Amino acid sequence: MNKITIAIDGFSSTGKSTIAKQLAKKLKYVYVDSGAMYRAVTYFAMENNIISHTFFYKDELIKRLDDIILTFKYNTSLGFAEIYLNNVNIEKEIRTLGVSKLVSKVAEVSEVRKKLVEQQKKFGENKGVVMDGRDIGTVVFPNAELKLFMNASASKRAKRRFDELIKRGDQVTFEEILKNVEYRDHIDSTREDSPLMKADDAIEIDNSDLTLEEQFDKIYTIVQEKLKTV
């Protein structure tokens, strides 16, 4: 059967990476979490005193971009690829609220986007890829055979993300997560370079009232229909 490219975009915490991982597993495709790449660059900038909540030395980050080597390595027990920054696994470090608070500022920088988009396009050269992010259907894979645009109410999304962080032992409040989700949505959809928007040919899925199982069934049906046409 011919392989396709599946591009999944949407607002923060809408379940993009969950469905992307499930589809990749079911179809035996490669899953790429493009948000992890922006988070990794942000983590690098934080570790190197280039960004904090009081300063952002953009030019310094741009100068240091060649020092950032990002790779994904498949973890068989997890069933998906984890991200490495200069050969160090940083999968856990990039998921903190601290990184979430700064990542959208880093993702506004065109030089950062250019570097990451170039690498993302390469991942898709042989098709058979599911990638999630903000500009996948519009910029990275404008010719993707299937584009999904995920949405859910901000309070549902914040609650889901809050539960996830509490479960892993992070000390956060629901209010600060909600604030972060809304703040990132605003910057991500109003920035000049590659703002988050639904591609004209994307299928919109609102999963506010869908369980993970219902969401998978709905989307997998769409995928199967698409696969019949290629």
- Helix residue ranges, H only, 11-125: 16-27, 34-47, 58-64, 97-106, 110-123
Could you tell me the smallest distance in angstroms from the CB atom of residue 98 to ligand CDP? 13
Comparing CA positions, the residue from 84, 81, 85 lying closest to residue 129 is 81
- 54 or 211: whose CB is closer to ligand CDP? 211
- 11 or 145: whose CB is closer to ligand CDP? 11
- Helix (H) / strand (E) containing 82: strand 80-85
Could you tell me the smallest distance in angstroms from the CB atom of residue 77 to ligand CDP? 19
Residue of minimal Cβ distance to ligand CDP: 35
Could you tell me the smallest distance in angstroms from the CB atom of residue 215 to ligand CDP? 4
Which residues contact ligand CDP (rule: CB under 6 A)?
12-18, 34-35, 38-39, 103-104, 107, 132-136, 160-161, 164, 184, 188, 207, 210, 212, 215
Query: Is 15 annotated in some ligand binding site?
Result: yes
Query: Is 141 annotated in some ligand binding site?
Result: no
Residues in the chain: 230
Query: Is 18 annotated in some ligand binding site?
Result: yes
Annotate 168-187 with DSSP letters as a single string: TT----HHHHHHHHHHHHHH
Could you tell me the smallest distance in angstroms from the CB atom of residue 228 to ligand CDP? 25
Q: Going by C-beta distance under 8 Å and a sequence separation of 6 or more, which residues neighbour residue 15?
A: 150, 152, 160, 207, 212, 215
- 134 or 147: whose CB is closer to ligand CDP? 134
